[in-house]
Amino acid sequence: KTVFLSGATGFIAQHIVKQLLDSGKFKVIGSVRSEDKANSLAKNFNNNPDLSFVYVKDISDPVAFDEAFKEHGSKLDYVIHSASPFTFDITDIQKDLITPAKIGSAGIFKASVKYAPNLKHFVVTSSFAAIVNASKAADPNTVFDESSWNPSTLEEALQNEFNGYRYSKKIAEKTIWDLSKELKSKFNITAVNPVFVFGPQCFDSSATGNLNTSCEFINKLVHSKIGDDVSSSINGAAIDVRDVARAHIEPLLNSEKFNGQRLLLSDVRFGNQTLVDILNELPELEGKIAKGVPHSDENIAATKAKIVNDKTKELLGFKFISLEDSVQDTANQILRVQNVF
C-alpha cells in the first residue's frame, strides 16, 4: 500500500515515516520543501527504496500539491497531511500561520479528490489547538473532549501569535471536514488532535541547536542554570511523539472503525515545574540545572479544564508512553548529541 505524507521532514512526520516503513506494509511518498532536505532524510533512512520524495515548496500555494498528485495520485491508498507551520517566530500571523494551514489543507484535499481515485483514507494532523477554548483552559469546570471546537474568530487570531496558531489549526481541520461534505469525497477521514508532543527526535542528527517548537521547551530546561526562575507555568498536557505517530497509522489499518473520528491524544497535564522535577531525576542533570520549587505543580490538573479522551483511548486500545519516559528520552538524546555541560 502507498501513503502520501506531507511535510515528511517534520518532528512528528519522521516518526510516522519510520513506523510506516518498519511495519513493512507501506511505501511512503513524502513531500518536502527542497532536494537537500530529501537527501538528508533519505540518508537517515538508509536510502530505503520504499521511501521516495516529491517537492512541495510552499503549501500556501493553492495548487502546490497538484503536480505531485497528477504524477502519483493513481497509486495512492492513503494520504496523511501533516505539513503545517508550528512556530511562534513569525512576522505576519495571516501569511505565516493561517494561510499555509488553511490553503495547505484545501490544496491537498482537493488534489486527493481529483487525482487519487483509489484513496481509502485521509488522515490530517490537527491539534488540541483546534479543540481548546483558550478562555476556558484554566477553568476546572470546563471539559474538552473529541467533540469540542475552538470557538475563536479571525479577529482574535490576529491579536497574537498564540491565538493565531490555535486558529490556524482549527481552520485547517475545519477545511477538511467542510470540503469532504462539499465535494462528497468517497474516502474515509480521521483527524489526529495531539496536545503538546514531546519525545526524542527520530534521528540524533535532528537533536542539535533549537529543536521543534514543543521539544524546545525541554531543550531550554536541559540548558537551564541552577537558580533560574522556572515558575512560569505552561498550561499544557502532554503526549509522546511515538504514540502520535502510531495514532496516524492505526486508521490506515482499520479504516472503517476510525472514519469520521477525531483522536484527542492526551496523557497527562503538566506545568514547567513538572518537567523540571522529571529532569532532575536524571543523574546527569540533577544538581546542574534549575530546581524551581520541587513538586509545586503536583496538583496542576485540578486547576485546569479537564481533557476527557476516553473515546480515543478506546479506539486506539494501546497504553500511552508516560510523561516521565517521554521527557527523559528527549533529554537523554539531547545529552548524547549536544555538549551541554
Q: Residues interacting with ligand NDP, by CB under 6 A?
A: 7, 9-13, 33, 37, 56, 58-60, 82-86, 100, 125, 127, 169, 194, 196-197, 212, 214
- Burial (CB count <10 Å: 0-12, 13-18, 19+), residue 242: buried
User: In the bound complex, which residue of the shown chain has the CB atom lying closest to ligand NDP?
Assistant: 10
Please name the helix (run of DSSP H) or strand (run of DSSP E) that holds residue 9, with its range, or none: none
Give the shortest CB-286-to-ligand NDP separation in angstroms: 26
Of 57 and 186, nearer to ligand NDP (C-beta) is: 57
Q: For residues 37 and 288, which CB has a smaller minimum distance to ligand NDP in the complex?
A: 37
User: Percent helix, strand and coil across the chain, each rounded to 5?
Assistant: 45, 15, 40
List the catalytic residues: 169
Least distance from C-beta 139 to ligand NDP, angstroms? 21
Question: Least separation, in Å, of the C-beta of 225 and ligand NDP?
Answer: 25
Q: Which of 102, 5, 97, 103 is nearest to 50 (CA)?
A: 5
DSSP notation for 75-101: G-SEEEE------S--S-IIIIIIHHH
Select 274 or 291, whichever has its Cβ closest to ligand NDP.
274
Closer residue to ligand NDP (CB): 197 or 334? 197
Longest dimension (CA), the chain: 59
Least distance in angstroms from the C-beta of 293 to ligand NDP:
26
Q: How far is the CB of 110 from ligand NDP (least distance, A)?
A: 16
E-strand spans in 89-187? 121-125, 143-144
Query: Of 296 and 322, which has the nearer Cβ to ligand NDP?
Result: 322
The 10 Å Cβ neighbour count of residue 44 is: 18
Identify whether the C-beta of residue 332 lies closer than 8 Å to the C-beta of residue 281: no
Q: DSSP 3-state assignment of 217?
A: helix
Amino acid found at 98? I
Rounded alpha-carbon distances, angstroms, from residue 299 to 135, 137, 240, 267, 303: 20, 15, 21, 15, 7
